[in-house]
Structure 1
């Protein structure tokens, strides 16, 4: 199992946001990413929302940094750590738009992009940008096939139900032969979509018992990543035994990668928590670069 971090500051949920995150900026985020890079963590994350209705923001948060611009900056400050969109909403973009923008990022970063992708559920945001909400699942499946055909190719070609393209040049394009596609979601359909069309599954909001049952019913193929999140922020310095137990539970549930949040009072404390987590994780057989 590997460990990535759900990057603080970039998403701020009212119930989990630490006080220091409210006034933090890109240099604070970069300091954490640089430390995670140096320590050998697998990835950092950034999610996507264009605009969140005020009533939804009161519950789910309204701060969502743009992944492309944020990762462009972090790519220049780091060397090894992967840059994971967790997640982009497929229905908000044409597949070649994603292939061009994040293919450029892949080239800039030296092949470190992983695309976390989701179907989306916020109807108001779909309506705002003129995207189709009904039938978004079938459209997302076609977008995934089109994206696989488009990524890493100068002259991609695809003919599907919703997307059709040929005789187009996309330059620059991704330098990875196969950019990993992680599928986000909390339904059995999202897991099947990941097995059929992706390289990883990133569930959220599910109990470990439910995750185990879903994975037993739909076993991931060899080489597919299962990215599971700890239920609450870890505190390696203050509660090392609890942090170690949480990682062990994720590993035993089938995680190939753990996505963690950390309890911290500021950037320096966060970096110390990262270093301590590495020390705790090594005896568990967890890998770091």
Structure 2
């Protein structure tokens, strides 16, 4: 079982300290979150509430790839990914360059977890089309893999047309691409086009149901026997038994935040002793 931690709602200045502690205590990796801005006039409803998002406008959301670069510099084995990165809000070549650079600097300790996003205002401010973000995200998955190969590369698709270019540094190894989202469209994208899926916070029964849908779609696309990551956060109290049962149904990683009130070292070390070493 892989053990990951998120960065959402943590003080930005604490992230390097937390990453170093996670690295030394056997955690697998860190997920960064992606919110660019909070507009004063927010017209787009947050999907989970139908109204405003459940965080304050001044909540800190540091840039994912700047954060990953900083955390990679203070760790040696910790992996990095996103929960999730809104690729369709950015130009294709910008995403390709950011991820490839992070992969090179971290010696391949990076994966990209994509999402389609929900805030129209972010797309508009960045000059990207909000309404076709779904199919553009799917095309970007394949375009990025082509652009990361090294040497002279190009891409031609429905939404993107990249002439022959060289974009360096390129990743030292193929960058795994995961997908977020719980709709059938998102789960099919993960099962058909990606190397894994990243979820959010679920009860045991909900996690079982979603993993079952992923397995069904992977069988439909003849990918049931290929390696595939499934990473979620579970609402049940942490235990060795819980994580072993999760492995049995196909979960490969869990997201944990084993601390309270900024007492990072104590919580991380206790979780490592009580859970990680016993699940190894």
Q: Could you tell me whether the CA contact under 8 Å between 1:186 and 1:205 is conserved in 2?
A: no
Aligned with 1:281 (options 264, 272, 275): 275
How far apart in 2 are the matches of 1:124 and 1:30? 30
Taking only aligned residues, the RMSD between alpha carbons, in angstroms, comes to 2.3
Aligned with 1:223 (options 220, 224, 227): 227
Give the number of equivalent residue pairs. 261
Q: Residues 193 and 131 (structure 1 numbering): CA distance in 2 closer, same or farther, change over 3 Å? A: same
How far apart in 1 are the matches of 2:251 and 2:243? 9
Q: Could you tell me whether the CA contact under 8 Å between 1:228 and 1:250 is conserved in 2?
A: no
Q: Aligned-pair distance for 1:82?
A: 0.7
Q: Could you tell me whether the CA contact under 8 Å between 1:212 and 1:254 is conserved in 2?
A: yes
Q: Aligned-pair distance for 1:120?
A: 1.1
Q: Aligned-pair distance for 1:168?
A: 0.9
Q: Could you tell me whether the CA contact under 8 Å between 2:151 and 2:166 is conserved in 1?
A: yes
| Match in the other structure for 1:179 | 175
Q: Could you tell me whether the CA contact under 8 Å between 2:100 and 2:148 is conserved in 1?
A: yes
Q: Residues 35 and 136 (structure 1 numbering): CA distance in 2 closer, same or farther, change over 3 Å? A: same
Q: Residues 80 and 205 (structure 1 numbering): CA distance in 2 closer, same or farther, change over 3 Å? A: closer
| Match in the other structure for 2:25 | 39
Q: Aligned-pair distance for 1:97?
A: 1.5
Q: Residues 221 and 122 (structure 1 numbering): CA distance in 2 closer, same or farther, change over 3 Å? A: farther
Q: Could you tell me whether the CA contact under 8 Å between 2:258 and 2:271 is conserved in 1?
A: no
How far apart in 2 are the matches of 1:123 and 1:246? 38
| Match in the other structure for 1:264 | 260
Q: Is residue 2:203 matched to residue 1:204? A: no
Residue-by-residue CA offset, 1:62-121 (whole Å, 9 max, x unaligned): 421111111221111111111112221121122221121221111111111111111111
| Match in the other structure for 1:132 | 129
How far apart in 2 are the matches of 1:216 and 1:141? 19
How far apart in 2 are the matches of 1:38 and 1:152? 32
Structure 2 stretches of 5 or more lacking a match? 47-51, 219-223
Deviating beyond 6 angstroms after TM superposition, the runs of 4 or more aligned structure 1 residues are none
How far apart in 1 are the matches of 2:70 and 2:80? 11
Q: Residues 183 and 192 (structure 1 numbering): CA distance in 2 closer, same or farther, change over 3 Å? A: same
Aligned positions of 1:1-289 closer than 5 A: 1-7=1-7, 11-12=8-9, 21=10, 24-26=11-13, 28-54=14-40, 59-61=54-56, 62-176=59-173, 178-206=174-202, 207-219=206-218, 220-231=224-235, 242-266=238-262, 269-282=263-276, 286-287=279-280
Q: Aligned-pair distance for 1:231?
A: 2.6
Structure 1 stretches of 5 or more lacking a match? 13-20, 235-241
Residue-by-residue CA offset, 1:215-247 (whole Å, 9 max, x unaligned): 342245421111111237x6xxxxxxx444543
How far apart in 2 are the matches of 1:216 and 1:139? 24
Residue-by-residue CA offset, 1:248-279 (whole Å, 9 max, x unaligned): 4533442111122234121xx32222222222
Q: Aligned-pair distance for 1:150?
A: 0.9
How far apart in 1 are the matches of 2:226 and 2:269? 31
